[in-house]
Structure 1
Amino acid sequence: MTGDHSALLQRGLRKLGIAENAGLSSRLLAFLDLLSKWNKVYNLTAIRDPEAMITHHLLDSLSVSTLLSGQRVLDVGTGPGLPGIPLSMAHPQRDFVLIESSAKKTRFIRQAKLEMGLKNVDVIHERVEKFENVELFDTIVTRAYSSVERILSSSAHLLGPGGQILAMRGRMAEADEQYAGFRSRIIPVDVPGIEGARHILMMTPDIPEQGSGR
């Protein structure tokens, strides 16, 4: 990656309200370099142009950054570590678990964890439906992962009390739908360098108020 790519990323981080911590932009670009290297052999992503990788992989992943809450974050269907790896770099104080069913993508994520020194990341090669974890999560995030119904049916059992699910979406065809047992809120996001609608669907368990009769 060149100095122009670094400048593009830093401008995007500022627009997203993300502070530069401990050389964040340099580490993010190093991750992209590694992804590009592996992509030549393993075809991990269809996006190969460096500028598009910055906008559509890094900045899009980080558009959910300010909405994270709690200590433990689960990235469901992370693919080649997106959004989990960029988020773990931006939030070194939080613990991230990245789950992916593809063996080649899981191998890449583990290599990225090693080379980037990401001690706050755990990588799980498993389908989320079969994943059982003793300690529940404060935030579950998904990006380009199936339908909202499947997200809830496969992942909701991993959400801790007071937790939230953040589903990163494009156009919200399901904008008017309600999901049983959850309160939903649609948050439009402006991702630098990406045209078109982007939204985050925030879902929290609908806990009846005491005395409500529900």
Structure 2
Amino acid sequence: MSSVSSPEGRHARTLQRGCQDLGLDLAPAQRDALLHYLALLERWNRSYNLTAVRDPQEMVTRHLLDSLAVSPHLQGARILDVGSGAGLPGVPLAIMHPGREFHLLDSNGKRTRFLFQVKTALRLANMVVHQARVETFPADPPYDEVLSRAFASLGDMYRDCRHLLAPGGRCLAMKGTYPAGELNASALQAARVTVHPLQVPGLDEHRHLVDIRPQASRR
């Protein structure tokens, strides 16, 4: 167990308090897995440049808690994280929700190599890694929810991902400031769009989750 005065102890305290503020019940094994992921991300980032955030304490807030802030909005059992990059938000969510199946998709080989290492090191049986482009990725079978974080504009994300949705499925796009300029995209005109404000503990910045659902065709 890390000393409370060590960097690892500070990371653990920030993570524990943040999860409490989010209303999440963080088990010790989940806390340890999240901190293990953080250590892997910090180590691989030195060579692979997976994230611009270098400070591990800042990673706790900007990456772990930012990802976990969408937890209350998840409904599906089978979720695809597109443009997953370093595994955000897919890895923290897979750790937090072992009863859900998370598929992490990225076209970049060095990122998917890192994700395979994370899956192996953390023994995440509910996490599947895919290296492919989203435009050509098959929906076999389709997904309940397609999730993205800093991936593309809302219109592009919905256009490229809607073929991956199961009936009744939805796209969930994590955004910073309220994306007013993106909501009028032509690709969204046949969709029902809801924007939810998010509060990330310890982060004094705007965060939003955009819920995009295909409208049923009118006969």
Instruction: Answer yes or no: same fold by TM over 0.5.
Output: yes
Aligned residue in 2 for 1:202: 211
CA-based RMSD of the aligned residues comes to 1.4
Separation (CA, whole Å) in 2 of partners of 1:157 and 1:181: 14
Separation (CA, whole Å) in 1 of partners of 2:66 and 2:146: 17
Structure 2 length as normaliser, TM-score? 0.92
Indicate if the aligned counterparts of 2:139 and 2:163 stay in contact, CA closer than 8 A: no
Which deviates more from structure 2 when the two are superposed, residues 178-187 or residues 161-170? 178-187
Which residue of 107, 119, 124 corresponds with 2:113?
107
Deviations 1:158-193 (A, max 9, x none): 001111111000112326537122101110011011
Aligned residue in 1 for 2:193: 184
What is the number of equivalent residue pairs in this alignment?
Answer: 210
Which residue of 20, 23, 36 corresponds with 1:14?
20
Aligned residue in 2 for 1:64: 70
Unaligned segments of structure 2, at least 5 residues: 1-6
Unaligned segments of structure 1, at least 5 residues: none
Separation (CA, whole Å) in 2 of partners of 1:8 and 1:22: 14
Structure 2 residue 154 is the aligned partner of structure 1 residue 148: yes
Structure 2 residue 46 is the aligned partner of structure 1 residue 40: yes
Separation (CA, whole Å) in 2 of partners of 1:153 and 1:133: 14
Paired amino acid for 1:122: V
Separation (CA, whole Å) in 2 of partners of 1:111 and 1:131: 22
> Per the alignment, do residues 95 and 65 of structure 1 end up closer, same or farther by CA in structure 2, a change over 3 Å counting?
same
SS at match of 1:145: coil
Structure 1 length as normaliser, TM-score? 0.94
Aligned residue in 2 for 1:116: 122
Separation (CA, whole Å) in 1 of partners of 2:150 and 2:143: 20
Paired amino acid for 2:192: R
Separation (CA, whole Å) in 2 of partners of 1:24 and 1:13: 11
SS at match of 1:19: coil
Separation (CA, whole Å) in 1 of partners of 2:53 and 2:193: 31
Q: Percent identity?
A: 42
Aligned residue in 2 for 1:173: 179
